[in-house]
Amino acid sequence: MDRKIVLITGGSSGIGKSIGNFLHEKGYTVYGTSRNPDNVKDSVFPLVQLDVRDSESIAKAVQEVVTKSGRIDVLINNAGVGITGPLEEIPAEEIKNNFDTNVFGPIAVMKAVLPYMRNQKAGLIINVTSIAGYMGLPYRSVYSASKGALELITEALRMEVKNFGISITNVAPGDFATNIATRRYHAPLIEGSPYEESYGRTLRMMDEHVDSGSNPEKMAQAVYNIIKTDVPNVHYKVGAFMQKFSIVLKRILPDKVYEKLLMNHYKL
Ligand SMILES: NC(=O)c1ccc[n+]([C@@H]2O[C@H](COP(=O)([O-])OP(=O)(O)OC[C@H]3O[C@@H](n4cnc5c(N)ncnc54)[C@H](OP(=O)(O)O)[C@@H]3O)[C@@H](O)[C@H]2O)c1
């Protein structure tokens, strides 16, 4: 039985919970996190309090895991939130909150964990990004940008810490059926707004995609496979074929053709 110590941010729901359950069943020692662990009654692995926007809570959570288990072998930076809206109409504080959660949060957690991993001369960090981070998607500009930023942070950091025995990788999910759509910030549909009709239509499509998304267990299996890999890849994509293929299309098609495909898809 493998007794690796795993810390998953956002272990209370959706993908993080699925990964935690799966790894717990496989015999790993799993710690998840939640902003309000006392509200989560059904977790099969312990949840420590952590808000990725609060550096003190990150330091306390990491310290708690190290005190209890002596080390952190795998960090899964999974906590994240969605955001939708016409860029022109999204309040600046919501844009900032999204970057605080999806970009500065995971960076802060990595900064807290890296000293332990360097001392251990071993460690694996898996950053949960998004297929939406590979392209600017209409009415998801901020989300695409935050996940794209984390992809590049991973690429760069990977080279900085390789010689310390630490591996870092990105896992980009496509659409998965979780609570993300109900919990994300939606810029309100403003009556009479020039964006009202097309944003409304796109928002309905986005919500349908998440509701009919894959089972988060698929992400858990993928993460498990990565943990078992000696030298993980830089990028992994997990999701429906067309979602993964959209990244290939972006690479091979001229920009304007790709943009046309996206606009047709979203009926813009
Ligand atoms: N579902 C999809 O279709 C999809 C697609 C692409 C990428 N993703 C990414 O996958 C990850 C997991 O999403 P999900 O679909 O599982 O969503 P979810 O069901 O809403 O779960 C989000 C998790 O993040 C935690 N979280 C949110 N804000 C936090 C904060 N400020 N500090 C600490 N934890 C916070 C939540 O914990 P508490 O509320 O308990 O604190 C919760 O456990 C996210 O990074 C998301 O962007 C999801």
**pLDDT, tens digit, for every residue of 166-187?**
999 999 999 999 988 889 999 9
**How buried is 49 (Cβ within 10 angstroms: 0-12 exposed, 13-18 middle, 19+ buried)?**
middle
Dihedrals phi, psi of 214, to nearest 5 degrees: -70, 165
Q: Provide the pLDDT for residue 192.
A: 95
For position 47, which CATH number holds? 3.40.50.720
210 band by pLDDT with thresholds 50, 70 and 90: confident
Domain range for 213 is: 5-265
Q: Determine the Cα–Cα distance for residues 58 and 3; give it in Å rounded to an integer.
A: 23
Tokens at 92, concatenated: 């600046």
| pLDDT confidence of residue 1 | 44
Between 210 and 37, where is the model more confident? 37
Give mean pLDDT, residues 19-37.
98
pLDDT (0 to 100) of residue 207:
87
Q: Chain-wide mean pLDDT for the chain?
A: 96
Question: What residues contact 36, with CB distance under 8 A and at least 6 apart?
Answer: 49
Q: Is the pLDDT of residue 241 over 80?
A: yes
Q: Which of 237, 102, 222, 265 is nearest to 174 (CA)?
A: 237
Query: In 3D, which of 44, 241, 263, 21 has the Cα closest to residue 136?
Result: 263
Q: Answer whether 144 contacts ligand 1 (Cβ < 6 A).
A: no
Rounded CA-CA distance 187/189 in Å is 7
224 is catalytic: no
Nearest atom, ligand 1, residue 184 CA: 20
| Number of domains within the chain | 1
Q: Is 239 in the pocket of ligand 1 (CB under 6 A)?
A: no
Give the pLDDT mean for 34-48.
97
Q: Where are the alpha helices (DSSP H) in the chain?
A: 14-25, 55-69, 92-99, 105-120, 141-161, 180-183, 196-211, 217-228, 241-252, 255-265
Q: Write down the pLDDT at residue 211.
A: 85
| 12 ligand 1 Cβ < 6 A | yes
Average pLDDT of the residues in 124-133: 98
The answer to whether the CB of 79 is under 6 A from ligand 1 is: yes
- Mean pLDDT, residues 62-76: 98
Specify the pLDDT at position 80: 98
Residue of 104, 6, 124 lying closest to 55 (CA atoms):
104
Q: Which of 28, 116, 143, 199 is catalytic?
A: 143
Reply yes or no on whether the pLDDT at 25 is more than 70.
yes
At 167, is the secondary structure helix, strand, or coil?
Answer: strand
